[in-house]
Structure 1
Amino acid sequence: MARPTSRHSRPGRTLLVLLALILALGGTMFLQKAFTPKLGLDLAGGTTVTLSPVTQNNAAPPDEILDRAVNIIRDRVNGTGISDAEVAKSGSNIIISIPGVGQSEAIKLVATTAELRFRQVLAMEATQVPQNLATNAPTPSPSASASQSATPKSDKSTTPRSDKSGSPAVSTPSTSPTGKALSSALTAPTPAASGTGQPAATENPQKQQNKGQNAKATPTAAPSGQPSTPPAQDPNAGVNTQGIDPAVLAQFNKLNCADPANRGQGVQDDPKKQYAACETDGSYKYVLDVAKVVGTDIDTASAGVRQGTVEWVVQLDFKSKGAAEWSKLTTAAYNSQEPRNKVAVVLDGVVITAPNIISPIPGGRAEITGGFDQLSATQLADQLKYGALPLKFNRSSVDTVSSTLGQDQLQGGLIAGLIGLVLVVVYSMLYYRGLGIVAVLSLVVATILTYTAVVVLGHNANFRLSLPHIIGLVVSIGITADSFIVYFERIRDEMKEGHRTLRAAVEVAWVRARRTILIADAVMFIAAIVLYFLAVGGVAGFAFAMGLTTLIDVVVVFLFTKPFIALLARLKFFAKGHPLSGLDAERMSEVGSSGRPTTPQEA
């Protein structure tokens, strides 16, 4: 007796699993106070931005470069989780349509050039920045020469590590263990000692002997009795100009980093040429060597918190070629004197950070630091991960899209879906009678699961419901109807044999029907996946909705339709073939294999 009891209680347990799933989705909605789905651009409006390429002589860029930019921007939009966004080429412009309001950060992300370079520092100098423009920038000490070679900002930490001579470096609380993304070698510059301009970290004695050659000269008083003649002001006094292009050196001397216009991002610096650049806050200016490692050498990029600290960093993994060049670059910097022992991280022509290299970094891993928070680190990682735009773009227009037309389309789509649902319900009740109740309840359960899933996805994955999604959801009514029709007809086929009770027919029919249902849903789901990845815009939205509802159909059939019919089979109304059950003698009047009319038998 124990075995039948276990078997008969199984449908109830399956229905409890479905109830738990519905309660979980509903509970998520209540906890997040999200009761309505987010709407897409065509239903709720949004923002449309037109990007115009900036080229030399205002010439139109080649189509292949524009196509590459479109693909990169589309990948960035998808990477932010924004659903139903559209990126299209219009002439020589690129039009980005993003649904919803408050998407300025997303627009800034997708339109940023994000050209990344790693350049060795050849020369550097502190810049006097007005107080209202400075961002944690150190103020040069009055006792230091104005032309003294500067040491980068003190707000960046130095990783404790011994140098080549074995002398320990001055440590700070921030650490980066060997073997991590930083490899304990790429670190921020060591703070300068007060008023001395010398680094606080202990260096190799051989480096200390030669360090004086980089210090800029300070004029001395003239001997007594001789006329005092002020020496000529040499802007490059004490600077090691060996290997620096004179034109770049002249640009460096004229560069005014206190002017925000000279440190604005979006500059496309030539990686094959030396370059003069400012730090992001304008506190330092640099002469930088040619770029030995560029953004295209990056394999992956991700944002994270450096181990043992609360500092957000961007972690990079280089491709094989980039890893080899990165090792050569850090080795060359390590064997150089101040300030050439630094490697600058340049993004869109602006120096983000210029840390000291305290040992070569093999392995192809690195970190970018620069006072990031979670948002800025994630945005930079996404820009680098999905690629650098091959062009610089200006926002020629930013327009707000009205949702008036979309609301009319939404109303029409909902009316069409309601009409289709009513027709399916009427047909099921007329043809299947009592079994039609199972069909109607299956549609109700599928509707509840679909609605809660759309709401939860909207508030957790930024999924937005658009008109193509609604079309896909309406089509899903037919998918759900197909599943229970297949099962019902299998039950009838088993009953027509005349030798099975309704309980037995329900179980045997399920074994045969579920294979057909799974194959049909698998074909539909594969088609949705292919369409989603090959199409864009509205077609991709339709494919997503179709794939989602196909999965929901499998859940409904397995967790509701089959166990619910198994429970109904225990009722005399169905087991004895009541005229309204849909399994009555009139409906089952076809002659079975025994040669006599079949009638359901009570278990």
Structure 2
Amino acid sequence: MAKSTPVKKAWRSLSWLGAIVIALVAINTAAVLWGGGSWTPKLALDLEGGTQIILAPKLETGQTVTDEQLTQAVSIIRQRVDASGVSEAEISTQGGSNIVVAIPGELDEETKNRIQSSAKLELRPVLLAGAPSDSSVGGDASASPTPSPTESLRATPTVSPTNGSDTNWITPALQAEYDSFDCSSDEAATTNAAPADVPLVTCDTTGTVKYLLGPVEVDGADIKDATNGQETNQQGASTGRWVVNLTFNDQGTKDFGEVSQRLYGLTATPPLNQFAFVIDGQVLSAPTMNGVITDGKPSISGSFDQESSKALADQLKFGALPISFTVQSSETITATLGSSQLLSGLIAGLIGLLLVFGYSLFQYRLLGTVTIVSLLVAGVITYLTLCILSWYQGYRLSLAGVAGVIVAIGFTADSFIVYFERVRDELRDGRVLGSAVEAGWKRALRTVYASKATNLLAAIVLFVIAVGSVKGFAVTLGITTVIDVIIVVLFTHPMLQLLAQTRFFSSGHPLSGLDPSALGAVYRGRAEFRTSAQLTAAKAASSSREAAKRQTIAERKAAEAAALDASGGSKPAKSAASAPSASGDISKNGKES
């Protein structure tokens, strides 16, 4: 099999780069035609403006909001907004109790619902369950099957309940409230959360089931994560049923384990074996407890499909606010910086780009055009990537993101400089251009990878720990870092491989930037020298002295011996004035004799 030549490798790399550009153009074209995409990236709040929503807490008499609750609420609302694909949102507190949510651009209905349904999630045991407008119950909590369940519960003595499932919670007054409650009434529609330590009469979110629930036993804020997926059996095979998988934190694991042990023991007396997930006083789901779960990782099964299980998982994951909020106001806001600041940022980026172009041409002559074209190709790929992210992930370009792109110009040019200097070093060592390109590439690639790994790590750390516009800077920095590596590998190096085959560059034309004579390429190693006919006498002398400095002791002695043989075996005489130390010896006591 014939060995692949540098030229073939170069064209193969350029073909891959072309395929990447074509794919990006095709994806964005499809997004524009059929997916609501655009040929310009979406702008963030500071450049475009958007919608501001102020959320006020719903408090019981005498209840106050703590700083810890506000901080947790801000974090959860930010997760909701980010999950909807909106980036560069600003979420902050106001007046020690309110939360201000500023969303860039026009607010879609889904994101609006995510924010406005700022619910508090609670987990309560089920005491009664029945039809939405009658007084029947879903299970018999009495010991005797003879009387009706309602009659048995009305006869329950009024004593202190021992746990959340204790039917002693159901007083005659509470029973009457439950009996008269109608899920289709205005009262049901405006039902809000009750205090955590008392029962709650409510309906599910569809209005088809009426519930009487015990006090809160697990706080929704203790849900660490909620995801949907297909159920698996003990052998690890999928059953085809969609379920919602929960993960509790340490406190939630402890509380849920205790509740599951009690409810599993009530399997024979439904609905006392059910546990309701309640958001703003309405039941999202009330599954039965089918086992004792002590690892904090229960799963909810039922008549789910992929969409409904995902919806429930999102509600459980992003609904776990420590307190409930109501929308106090919603209004459109203008850009905080505006188009003039964007224009200033773009002008700054253009000036930086022109300076890099000028430096490249001054330092590397026509070789600098490779830097210029590489930066232009990187710019096209970066722009297309940002457009696709704006369409697919809701990414918005802020002024901080523009700054990230500007900073990346210098980082990208740095990669080219490292590579070019490595090639020049190889030319100084006497290699021909084709060999210098390959040898210099091997040396430069390690440095480029190490540098870009550092940049990418910095971008990832910034994205993880930062919020707001700093995330935008981290995104553009990370994207341009990856694109930089792609350009160096698939464009810059292949272009040098092809240019090395041209007469202009391989002959070392003075304007090529790769002139061996101008680089002082006279030393070839192992005391072998070559003298270019194009060098002046002064240049040759200067280069020879420079090369002599770079010789090892063994190479210098070998050169002197070669010179001695060439002169017929007579050692050149040296005057005492010119070399006084060469005429004496060093005695044992360290004095010169």
User: How would you bin the TM-score normalised by the shorter chain?
Assistant: 0.7 to 0.9
1:99 aligns with: 104
TM-score, normalised with respect to structure 1: 0.74
CA contact (8 A) 1:112 1:389 kept: no
Is residue 244 of structure 1 aligned with residue 169 of structure 2?
A: yes
- Corresponding residue of 1:458: 390
Asked whether the 8 Å contact 1:114–1:383 carries over to 2, the reply is: no
Tell me, yes or no, if the aligned pair for 1:252 and 1:287 is still in contact at 8 Å.
yes
Residue equivalent to 2:147: 213
Measured after TM superposition, the shift of residue 502 of structure 1 is 0.3
Asked if structure 2 preserves the Cα contact closer than 8 Å seen for 1:263 and 1:350, the reply is no
1:68-107 CA-partner distances (Å, limit 9, x unpaired):
2112222222233321112112222211111121334223
C-alpha distance in structure 2 between counterparts of 1:570 and 1:378, whole Å: 58
Superposed CA deviations along residues 99-150 of structure 1, whole A, max 9, x for unmatched, are 121334223324534433443332344344xxxxxxxxxxxxxxxxx65x25
Could you tell me which residue of structure 1 aligns to residue 204 of structure 2?
A: 279
Q: Distance in 2 between matches of 1:115 and 1:393?
A: 8
Contact 2:154/2:175, CA 8 A, preserved across alignment = no
Q: Partner of 1:569 in structure 2?
A: 500
2:2 maps to: 2
- 362-371 vs 38-47, which deviates more? 362-371
- Provide closer, same or farther for how the CA distance between residues 526 and 216 of structure 1 changes in structure 2, counting only shifts above 3 A: closer
Counterparts of 1:116 and 1:52, CA distance in 2: 17
TM-score, length-scaled by structure 2: 0.76
SS of corresponding position for 1:21: helix
Residue of structure 2 equivalent to 1:548:
479
Q: Does 1:23 align with 2:22?
A: yes
Q: How does 1:39-54 map to 2 (within 5 A)?
A: 39-54=43-58
Deviation at 1:272, TM superposition (A): 3.6
Q: CA deviation at 1:283?
A: 4.2
Give the residue type in structure 2 aligned to 1:27: A
Amino acid at match of 2:320: A
Paired AA for residue 38 in structure 1:
K
Structure 2 stretches of 5 or more lacking a match? 159-166, 233-237, 535-593
Q: Is the 8 A contact 2:279 2:319 kept in 1?
A: no
Q: Secondary structure at the match of 1:512?
A: helix
Contact 1:469 1:542 in 2 (8 A): yes
Offset at residue 573 of structure 1 (A) = 0.7
Residue 406 of structure 2 corresponds to 474
Change (3 A) 1:216 1:544: closer
Aligned residues of 1:353 and 1:368 also touching (Cα < 8 A): no
**Residue 301 of structure 1: SS of its match in structure 2?**
strand
Whether the 8 Å CA contact 2:401–2:473 is kept in 1: the answer is yes
> SS at 2:284's partner residue?
strand
Note if contact 2:119-2:323 (Cα within 8 Å) is conserved in structure 1: no
Q: Pick from 460, 470, 479 the counterpart of residue 539 of structure 1.
A: 470
1:334 to 248, 260, 267: 267
Task: Pick the structure with more helix per residue.
Answer: 2
Which of 498, 501, 506 is residue 432 of structure 2 equivalent to?
A: 501
Q: Which aligned pairs between 1:329-368 and structure 2 lie closer than 5 A?
A: 329-336=262-269, 338-354=270-286, 359-360=290-291, 362=293, 364-367=297-300
- Number of residue pairs matched? 506
Counterpart of 1:483 (choices 415, 423, 432) is 415
2:235 aligned partner: none
Contact 1:109–1:379, Cα closer than 8 Å, also in 2:
no
TM-aligned CA distance change 1:322 to 1:11, over 3 Å? farther
* Aligned counterpart, 1:289: 214
Contact 1:122/1:289 (8 A) holds in 2: yes
Once the two structures are TM-superposed, the CA of residue 560 in structure 1 deviates from its matched residue by 0.9
State how 1:560-599 maps to structure 2 within 5 Å: 560-584=491-515, 587-589=518-520, 592=523
Structure 1, unaligned runs of 5 or more? 129-145, 152-198, 200-205, 218-234
Deviating more after overlay: 360-369 vs 294-303: 360-369
The question of 1:86 aligning with 2:18 is answered no
Taking the aligned partners of 2:304 and 2:516, their CA distance within structure 1 comes to 79
- How much identity, in percent, do the aligned residues show? 39
Change (3 A) 1:238 1:216: farther
Give the secondary structure class of the aligned counterpart of 1:49. Answer: strand
Is 2:489 the counterpart of 1:558? yes
> For structure 1, which segment, 540-549 or 304-313, has the greater mean C-alpha deviation from structure 2 after superposition?
304-313
User: Based on CA coordinates, which of the two structures has the bigger radius of gyration?
Assistant: 2
Task: Give the structure 2 partner of residue 316 of structure 1.
Answer: 246
Among 317, 321, 325, the alignment partner of 1:389 is 321
**How big is the alpha-carbon RMSD for the aligned residues of Structure 1 and Structure 2?**
3.5
Asked whether 1:259 is paired with 2:209, we answer no
**Structure 1 position 262, deviation (Å):** 3.1
